[in-house]
């Protein structure tokens, strides 16, 4: 049986754009519920400035309150050395850095050029190597940019290769504004896989136009075996107006289960978690599978 690694990004990427500020203990409960459902890699928080992302202001408290479980990873986002140091002091053992394939988006999202972003997290790689901490990389706007339009696959490949050369064990390609289709995802993967080993590529798709799960399927057919997703379809980006949430983890698990692919996730418990967090945030459940299973149970 084939297997796929799921990186659950709900507690970080999912919550960061929500207007409702979730209490710290509720964030910890969300992570615990996700772990109870069988997820083994849960992005816990982001060590960014609270000025830019108020939802993540309690990052250190979240990490300190987590009940660590054997075999589980709780990666966190660390945009610079200060964020990295605070994260490690709070107990983080896996970190991630992020940049963009679009200059305009990089300046809006991280207040720097792409080149400056690499200079900013170079000390993070140095410190992580010394500490023995793995570093993951994110590339935003891998399909298109809200300011520049379509992004050439070769530009994405260039940034992805630099991340791997800098020390990333894996690079997640993000369709930040959710405009991708299989027809645009395939050329992207071909370009990146030409310069980065396929086993080090992850897919991070948003569902703005309802194409997220179709893009996952296309990427799986290409050979990608790592996907980011967010419980309940939570997500969005404060610097990409109109972009909706990530591919819902429930939808992803349903697709993979139907194909006989092992995820280790209990779909019923996952849907319960999706319903719960949606209620906490006062928003409707976004995932199609979650809604369908709710209706079937009614």
Please state, in angstroms and rounded to a whole number, the distance separating the CA atoms of residues 245 and 15. Answer: 10
The b-or-e profile of 140-166 (16+ CB within 10 A means b, else e) is: bbbbbbbeeeebebebbbbbbebbbeb
Q: Confirm if 190 and 201 have CB atoms less than 8 A apart.
A: no
Token pair, residue 9, equals 């990004």
For residue 296, the 8-state DSSP code is H
Relative to beta strand 144-145, strand 149-150 is: antiparallel
CB 19 within 8 A of CB 282: no
* 8-state DSSP, 137: E
Rounded CA-CA distance 231/246 in Å is 9
Q: If residue 41 lies in a helix (H) or strand (E), which one and from where to where?
A: none
Residues 20 and 1: their CA atoms lie apart, in Å, by 41
145 is annotated as an active-site residue: no
Alpha carbon distance 113, 130 (integer Å): 27
Active-site choice (141, 145, 168, 237): 237
Structural tokens at position 74: 């709780």
Q: What value does the CA radius of gyration of the chain take, rounded to a whole number of Å? A: 18
Q: Annotated active-site positions, please? A: 237
């Amino acid at each position: 049986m084939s297997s796929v690694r799921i990186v659950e990004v709900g507690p970080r990427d999912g919550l960061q754009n929500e207007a409702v500020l979730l209490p710290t203990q509720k964030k910890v409960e969300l992570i615990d519920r996700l772990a109870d459902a069988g997820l083994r890699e849960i992005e816990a928080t982001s060590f960014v400035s609270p000025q830019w992302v108020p939802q993540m202001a309690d990052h250190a408290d979240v990490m300190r309150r987590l009940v660590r479980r054997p075999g589980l990873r709780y990666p966190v986002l660390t945009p610079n050395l200060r964020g990295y140091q605070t994260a490690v002091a709070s107990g983080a053992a896996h970190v991630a850095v992020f940049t963009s394939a679009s200059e305009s988006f990089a300046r809006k999202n991280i207040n720097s050029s792409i080149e400056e972003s690499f200079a900013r997290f170079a000390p993070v790689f140095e410190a992580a190597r010394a500490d023995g901490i793995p570093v993951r990389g994110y590339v935003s706007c891998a399909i298109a940019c809200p300011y520049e339009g379509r992004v050439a696959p070769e530009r994405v490949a260039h940034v992805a290769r630099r991340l791997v050369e800098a020390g990333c064990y894996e690079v997640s390609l993000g369709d930040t504004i959710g405009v991708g289709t299989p027809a645009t995802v395939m050329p992207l993967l071909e370009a990146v896989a030409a310069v980065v080993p396929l086993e080090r590529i992850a897919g991070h798709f948003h569902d703005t136009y309802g194409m997220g799960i179709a893009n996952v399927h296309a990427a799986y057919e290409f050979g990608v075996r790592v996907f980011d997703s967010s419980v309940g379809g939570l997500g969005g980006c404060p610097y990409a107006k109109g972009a909706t949430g990530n591919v819902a983890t429930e939808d992803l698990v349903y697709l993979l289960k139907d194909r006989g692919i092992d995820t280790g996730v209990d779909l019923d418990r996952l849907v319960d978690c999706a319903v719960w967090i949606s209620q906490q945030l006062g928003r409707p459940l976004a995932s199609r599978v979650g809604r369908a299973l709710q209706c079937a149970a009614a």
